[in-house]
């Protein structure tokens, strides 16, 4: 049976391995991707917005002089730039950071874009009585720039490019421009629209593939490939977080460190490939034991495994330990070629504690490790439980024989 992490890894590898890139994900990946875009990358998007703002404001101030705007029309340009363009862009960008529904944010951004484009079109029309030519391709560039600022997804970008390109060409057709000038403007607008569409497509593909590669790297770094449990380094990180949370809320935490009994004999008698298969089957059996957000199952090292349960008192810890021992005994093991399958059991040390500011993860694990080896010396296939606050005040009690 595949774990959730293994299933996710399979999806990620399948998407990265496609010979032709695409801009659509299965539902599982699509939700994670959207969450990453709208949650994890807020700081990066904020830096991007600030950079654009630093570039845009001087551009708006210098553009009239560079385009030799008639003095009579200069006031209109300034009002449009600082009374319409800049405020609309800021509103559309700010909506992306406010705690609003995604649908409402989309409505705000699309409305801002439409008003923005209509305002630029009106500005273009209003410039003609002053014998001032505002190129339509410049209008298209401004609209596309604002759309990228809002972070529109690819489908909305492509639809917007098609609509704005068509309407700009229609606007030029209805104007009094000479036919040759119309053809030239229409060609430039079309080329600009196609270039923007191609750029938006390849940027979207690149962004998605970078996200896929990053997710796969994070997943393989924190998941043990043999057992499907989390790795030692990931366990250290999560365990420290659970202890800190339990200390703030004064809730008990149970730590169960276990070691497979006689695993060296299994490797020597059946081969290391078979031993790996045993570890894989035991890992599969343990993965289904924890379903709560702060439950942890990890491969601690070699044939050592560790389980952590948040808000787990002594009675619940004993039930957990008995269940784990029974689960391992009943694990479905591969059948060797010419002999019976070995009996696999574990010896474990269990610590139940309510952390305080002086509690260290290493202390709890050290006590659990000592109890685990005491359980081995006491006959194996059992656990020892300690209650208290490590490293002092722990009272061992033999159980689970």
Render 104-160 in DSSP notation, one character per residue.
HHHHHHHHHHHHHHHHHHHHHHHHGGGT----HHHHHHHHHHHHHHHT--HHHHHHH
pLDDT at 9 over 70: no
Residue-level pLDDT at 389: 44
pLDDT band at 141; cut points 50, 70, 90: low
Q: Rounded to whole angstroms, how far apart are CA atoms 64 and 2? A: 63
**In this structure, what are the phi and psi dihedrals at residue 41, rounded to the nearest 5 degrees?**
-105, 25
Three-state DSSP at 224 gives: coil
Is the predicted pLDDT of residue 43 greater than 70, yes or no? Answer: no
Q: Is the pLDDT of residue 399 over 60?
A: no
Nearest to 229 by CA among 302, 289, 286: 286
**Which residue(s) pair with 298 in the sheet?**
230, 306
Residue 150 has pLDDT above 70, yes or no: no
Q: How much is the mean pLDDT over the chain? A: 78
Q: Kindly report, residue by residue over 306-364, the tens digit of the pLDDT.
A: 999 999 999 999 999 999 999 999 888 877 776 788 889 999 999 999 988 888 889 89
Q: What is the pLDDT of residue 317?
A: 93
Q: What is the CA radius of gyration of the chain?
A: 32
Question: What sign results for the dihedral spanned by CA atoms 117, 122, 128, 131?
Answer: negative
Q: How many CB atoms lie within 10 A of CB 302?
A: 10
Q: Which residue has the higher pLDDT, 175 or 242?
A: 242
Using CA atoms, how far apart are residues 62 and 56, in angstroms rounded to an integer? Answer: 10
Q: Region 370-389: what's the mean pLDDT?
A: 86
Q: Mapping DSSP to helix (H, G, I), strand (E, B) and coil, where does residue 381 land?
A: coil
DSSP code at position 19: S
Measured distance CA(239)–CA(5) in Å, rounded: 19
State if pTM tops 0.85.
Answer: no
Query: Please, what are the domains in the chain?
Result: 4-220 (no CATH), 232-399 (3.30.70.270)
Of the listed ranges 22-31, 58-67, 95-104, 150-159, the one predicted with least confidence? 58-67
Place of tokens 């689970």: 400
Average pLDDT over residues 363-388: 90
pLDDT at 204: 76
Mean pLDDT of 202-218: 78
Residue carrying the six token digits 């593909």: 205
Position 215 pLDDT exceeds 90: no
Parallel, antiparallel or unpaired: strands 253-260 and 304-310: antiparallel
pLDDT more than 70, % of the chain: 75
Q: How far apart are CA 55 and CA 61, in angstroms?
A: 11
CA distance 239 to 223: 15
With a cut of 50, say whether residue 262 has pLDDT above it: yes
> Three-state SS for 317?
helix
Q: What is the pLDDT of residue 100?
A: 75
Q: What pLDDT, in 10s, does the model give residues 166-184?
A: 877 887 787 777 788 778 8
Question: What is the reported pLDDT for 391?
Answer: 41
Least confident of 162-176, 234-248, 305-319, 361-375: 162-176
CB 123 within 8 Å of CB 66: no
pLDDT of 72 above 50: yes
CA dist., res. 237 & res. 242, Å (int): 9
211: Cβ–Cβ under 8 A, 6 or more apart, which residues? 33, 36
Give the C-alpha separation, 197 to 124, whole Å. 24
The pair of three-digit structure tokens given for residue 324, joined into one six-digit string: 């784990």
Q: How confident is the model at residue 253 (pLDDT cuts 50, 70, 90)?
A: very high
Distance between CA 234 and CA 3 in Å, rounded?
A: 17
Stronger pLDDT, 7 or 364, i.e. the higher one:
364
Instruction: Answer whether residue 386 shows pLDDT above 90.
Output: no
Torsion region of 33: left, alpha or beta (phi above 0 gives left; psi -120 to 50 gives alpha): alpha
258: nearest Cα among 299, 316, 291: 299
Q: Which of 148-152, 223-227, 287-291, 374-378 has the lowest average pLDDT?
A: 148-152
CA dist., res. 161 & res. 291, Å (int):
46
Of the two residues 1 and 36, the one the predictor is more confident about is 36
The larger pLDDT score, comparing residue 329 to residue 132, is at 329
């Amino acid at each position: 049976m595949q774990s959730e992490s293994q299933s996710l890894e399979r999806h990620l590898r399948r998407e990265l391995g496609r010979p032709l890139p695409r801009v659509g994900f299965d539902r599982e990946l699509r939700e994670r991707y959207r969450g990453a875009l709208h949650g994890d990358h807020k700081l990066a998007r904020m830096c991007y917005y600030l950079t654009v703002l630093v570039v845009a404001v001087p551009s708006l101030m210098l553009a009239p002089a560079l385009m030799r705007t008639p003095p009579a029309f200069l006031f209109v340009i300034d009002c449009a730039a600082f009374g319409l363009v800049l405020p609309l862009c800021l509103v559309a960008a700010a909506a992306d950071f406010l705690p609003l529904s995604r649908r409402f944010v989309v409505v705000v951004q699309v409305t801002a874009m439409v008003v923005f484009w209509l305002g630029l079109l009106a500005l273009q029309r209003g410039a003609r009585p002053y014998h001032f030519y505002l190129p339509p391709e410049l209008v298209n560039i401004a609209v596309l720039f604002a759309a990228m600022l809002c972070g529109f997804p690819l489908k909305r970008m492509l639809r917007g490019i098609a609509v704005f390109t068509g309407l700009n060409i229609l606007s030029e057709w209805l104007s009094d421009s000479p036919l040759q000038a119309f053809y030239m403007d229409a060609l430039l607008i079309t080329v600009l629209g196609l270039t923007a569409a191609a750029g938006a497509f390849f940027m979207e593909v690149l962004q998605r593939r970078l996200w896929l590669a990053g997710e796969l790297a994070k997943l393989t770094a924190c998941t043990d490939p043999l057992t499907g449990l989390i790795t030692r380094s990931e366990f250290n990180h999560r365990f420290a977080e659970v202890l800190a949370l339990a200390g703030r809320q004064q809730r008990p935490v149970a730590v169960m460190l276990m070691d497979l009994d006689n695993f060296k004999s299994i490797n020597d008698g059946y081969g290391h490939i078979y031993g790996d298969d045993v570890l894989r089957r035991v890992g599969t059996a343990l993965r289904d034991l924890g379903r709560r957000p702060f439950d942890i199952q990890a491969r601690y090292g070699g044939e050592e495994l560790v389980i952590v349960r948040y808000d787990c008192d002594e009675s619940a810890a004993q039930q957990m330990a008995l269940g784990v021992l029974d689960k391992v005994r009943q694990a479905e093991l591969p059948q060797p070629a010419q002999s019976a399958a070995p009996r696999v059991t574990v010896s474990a040390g269990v610590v139940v504690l309510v952390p305080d500011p002086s509690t260290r993860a290493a202390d709890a694990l050290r006590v659990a490790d000592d109890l685990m080896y005491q359980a081995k010396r006491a006959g194996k296939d059992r656990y020892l439980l300690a209650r208290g606050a490590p490293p002092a005040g722990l009272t061992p009690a033999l159980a689970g024989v």
